[in-house]
Amino acid sequence: MFPSARALEGVIARRYGPRRTNEAPLTPTIYKISPAALWREAEQAGTFTGAPVDLADGFIHFSTAAQAAETAARHFAGVSDLVLVAVDSAALGEALRYEPSRGSALFPHLYGALPMSAVRWVKPLPLRSDGHEFPELEP
């Protein structure tokens, strides 16, 4: 016999903490690493619906300032022609959720499209011999 969905939610909440929805964002600015060409297409369309990994997972992956460099190292190692997109997390409303991921850390996930109106800035993310060179990030 399988446990009920409510029972599973309780187990998850005890292990990882409550699922964050309908709450104020944990960080005012979140970050998306994207191939530059894909981002240019999104700017022309007026909305970003996600990279292939986002579409496969059903949400757009973001990182906090503290998580962005490790995200680049793990998922974009050796990849050039990337941009770093800073997003106003409060502008995303209830579609933004902080959920456990790598090492049980809470990562921002957007369940919906990213409107360009929520974007604070877009900067190149140059690749150096020792990894990507990040600009100064806001928390």
Can you read off the two tokens belonging to residue 103? Answer: 């090492």
pLDDT in tens, 63-103: 999 999 999 999 999 999 999 999 999 999 999 999 998 78
Look at residue 37 and give its three-state secondary structure. Answer: helix
Nearest to 79 by CA among 31, 134, 34: 34
Q: How many CB atoms lie within 10 A of CB 112?
A: 15
Contacts of 77 (CB under 8 A, 6+ apart): 131
pLDDT reading at 129 higher than 50: yes
Contacts of 5 (CB under 8 A, 6+ apart): none
Amino acid identity, residue 55? L
Taking the domains of the chain in order of start, what are their residue ranges? Answer: 20-132
Tell me what pLDDT residue 25 has: 59
Q: How many CB atoms lie within 10 A of CB 125?
A: 23
Q: How many helices (H) and strands (E) does the chain have?
A: 4, 10
pLDDT in tens, 17-74: 444 444 545 899 999 999 999 999 999 999 999 999 999 999 999 999 999 999 999 9
Whether the model pTM is above 0.85: no
Q: What is the distance between the alpha carbons of residues 8 and 69, in angstroms, rounded to a whole number?
A: 32
> For the domain 20-132, what is the CATH code?
3.20.170.20
Tell me what pLDDT residue 9 has: 43
DSSP state of 59: S
